Amino acid sequence: MGRGRRAKALIGTIRSIIKNMIVGVTQGFTYKMKIVASHFPITVKVQGDAVYIENFIGERSPRIAKIVGEGTRVEVRGDDVIVKGVDKEAVGQTAANIEQATKVRRKDPRKFLDGIYIYEKKVGME
């Protein structure tokens, strides 16, 4: 019984991965993120395979988030950061890396709301 359950779980996982690959190649995936800053204006730059987040809470050194995957593209349009690509896992991990890079540590998270947050996940690239 344990073997059958694990096999079904594995088959379902493989099925979902293949389905996401087909959807990714035909339509693509897009994650939209919003830059939120209360006092210090955050500057976001894309250089090579990394996203540089400068002046986050007034810090002098930039925070760096890695872009995962070869087909993943990151665009900065005003207060929006748009992550696009054909691989759902790579696009999602890149968005998570950007969000985690701007996580406020050792301060009250209710007061310090600055950061870059995901606000829309979408199938299809505009």
Give the start-to-end residue ranges of the domains of the chain. 5-123
**For the chain, how are helix, strand and coil distributed in percent, rounded to 5?**
35, 35, 35
Q: What is the pLDDT of residue 125?
A: 82
Q: How is domain 5-123 classified at the CATH fold level?
A: Outer Surface Protein A; domain 3 (3.90.930)
Q: What is the pLDDT of residue 114?
A: 95
Closest CA to 95 of 59, 71, 66, 123: 66
Provide the 10 A C-beta neighbour count for residue 68: 19
Contact at 8 Å (CB) between 68 and 93?
Answer: yes
Q: Is the dihedral of CA 120, 124, 125, 126 positive or negative?
A: negative
Segment 78-106 shows an average pLDDT of: 96
pTM over 0.85: yes
Q: Which residue has the higher pLDDT, 2 or 115?
A: 115
Q: Which residue has the tokens 């690959």?
A: 21
Phi, psi values for residue 56, rounded to 5°: -75, 120
- The pLDDT tens digits for 28-69 are 999 999 999 999 999 999 999 999 999 999 999 999 999 999
